């Protein structure tokens, strides 16, 4: 039986003993309810204030029984209450230390600032991908049980506070997402994060067009507006329903097995410097290369068979998830 349930049962039994003691004095001594209850309480608590009335021999025998039964039990209940408080506090401290140890071991992870509607959906999407570690910074105590239920590594506190960012491992992080509720908070967060890690890639949420320039000036590499993105997607649904359906399959649904993936080319890949026609990507992996992003940022759509795969490029491929994973091991070996 756990401590909480044990404590509840003990408290109920204590109340029953107090009721039983009160009824006993009323029956044996003929006292009224208040005097009987008062005598029961001071007897169980063993405070020794004295008898409220002259007590009979039978009443004294009953009092001795009540002291042994009720007094000892109340001491036990008090010890259970102390144990409950101490164990609860220790459980919280030990749980927080386990989380801190896991966070301290992370490298090249993603820090999500804010676990509201946008932050939670973002974490669910990212957690479905392999080799992506997440840490959330959230200031609202109401969201802590939600994060624990979702199995998220988190740091409680303000995301704009340097101490919270350091606890989240910002010096070792790969990317930070500023998804706080207001643009002012996101601007201050971006400035603080950039100060702590100059090489950190930062993506920020903007609530208005006016804030986009401020967030970029503060150091954000990418600024996205959920409202603009939502409106643009609705427009695409109207104008290009077949295209958006295909993208839903490629990006959102893993049950179909068809995915679209971007894979960077490592300098250590054996396909570095190899033409597409000689790479065997289509023949061996049944994948379609729809574009290659060059190191200078230019994009080659539907690259020709004689296009050379070079280190620093990023290949965008479509196909089954298992084949994409196999290709990633070749193009970007760890």
Confidence bin at 286 (pLDDT 50/70/90): confident
Do residues 23 and 90 share a domain?
A: yes
- Domain-embedded: residue 249: no
Do residues 77 and 140 share a domain?
A: no
- Domain-embedded: residue 247: no
- 179-188, 235-244, 252-261, range with greatest mean pLDDT: 179-188
SS3 (DSSP) at 110: strand
Do residues 145 and 183 share a domain?
A: yes
Res 251: pLDDT: 64
Out of 17-26, 190-199, 248-257, which region has the weakest mean confidence (pLDDT)?
A: 248-257
**C-beta of residue 297 within 8 angstroms of C-beta of residue 229:** no
Do residues 89 and 114 share a domain?
A: no
Q: Is the pLDDT of residue 91 over 60?
A: no
Question: For residues 52 and 151, what is the distance between their CA atoms, to the nearest angstrom?
Answer: 58
Confidence bin at 1 (pLDDT 50/70/90): very low
φ and ψ at 7, to 5 degrees? -65, -40
Tell the burial category of 213 from Cβ atoms under 10 Å away from its Cβ (0-12, 13-18, 19+): exposed
Res 305: pLDDT: 86
Quick one: which of 238, 234, 200 has its CA closest to 218?
A: 200
Do residues 301 and 323 share a domain?
A: yes
What domain range is 276 assigned to? 257-331
Do residues 128 and 221 share a domain?
A: yes
Do residues 267 and 168 share a domain?
A: no
- pTM, full prediction: 0.58
Neighbours of 280 (CB within 10 A): 12
Quick one: which of 179, 205, 187, 163 has its CA closest to 111?
A: 179
Per residue in 287-319, pLDDT (tens digit) is: 888 888 988 888 888 888 888 888 889 998 888
Q: Structural domain tally of the chain?
A: 3
- 87-101, 173-187, 274-288, range with greatest mean pLDDT: 173-187
Distances (CA, A) of 331 to 291, 309, 317: 15, 10, 12
Final residue before a domain boundary, out of 45, 75, 101: 101
Question: For residues 213 and 181, what is the distance between their CA atoms, to the nearest angstrom?
Answer: 18
Q: Which two tokens stand for residue 252?
A: 């959102």
Average pLDDT across the chain, whole number:
82
Out of 192-196, 218-222, 280-284, which region has the weakest mean confidence (pLDDT)?
A: 280-284
Do residues 197 and 158 share a domain?
A: yes
Question: For residues 156 and 148, what is the distance between their CA atoms, to the nearest angstrom?
Answer: 12
């Amino acid at each position: 039986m756990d401590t909480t349930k044990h404590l509840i049962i003990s408290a109920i039994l204590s109340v029953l003993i107090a009721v039983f003691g009160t009824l006993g004095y009323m029956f044996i001594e003929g006292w009224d309810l208040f005097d009987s209850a008062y005598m029961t309480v001071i007897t169980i608590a063993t405070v020794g204030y004295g008898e409220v009335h002259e007590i009979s021999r039978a009443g004294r025998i009953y009092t001795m029984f009540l002291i042994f039964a009720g007094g000892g039990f109340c001491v036990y209940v008090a010890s259970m209450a102390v144990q409950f408080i101490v164990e609860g506090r220790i459980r919280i401290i030990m749980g927080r230390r386990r989380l801190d140890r896991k966070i301290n071991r992370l490298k090249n992870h993603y820090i999500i600032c804010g676990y509201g509607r946008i932050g939670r959906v973002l974490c669910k999407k990212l957690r479905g991908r392999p080799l992506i570690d997440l840490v959330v910074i959230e200031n609202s105590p109401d969201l802590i049980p939600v994060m624990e239920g979702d199995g998220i590594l988190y740091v409680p506190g303000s995301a704009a506070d340097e101490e919270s960012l350091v606890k989240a491992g910002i010096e070792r992080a790969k990317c930070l997402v500023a998804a706080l509720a207001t643009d002012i908070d996101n601007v201050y967060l971006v400035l603080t994060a950039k100060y702590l890690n100059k090489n950190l890639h930062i993506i920020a949420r903007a609530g208005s067009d006016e804030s986009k320039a401020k967030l970029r000036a503060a150091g954000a590499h990418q600024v996205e507006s959920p409202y603009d993105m939502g409106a643009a997607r609705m427009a695409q649904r109207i104008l290009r329903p077949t295209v958006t359906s295909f993208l839903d399959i490629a990006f959102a649904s893993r049950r179909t097995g068809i995915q679209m993936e971007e894979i960077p080319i490592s300098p250590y890949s054996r396909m570095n410097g190899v033409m597409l026609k000689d790479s065997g990507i289509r023949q061996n992996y049944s994948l379609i290369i729809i574009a290659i992003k060059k190191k200078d940022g230019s994009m080659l759509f539907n690259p020709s068979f004689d296009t050379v795969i070079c280190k620093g490029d990023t290949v965008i491929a479509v196909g089954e998830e298992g084949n994409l994973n196999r290709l990633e091991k070749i193009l970007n070996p760890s």
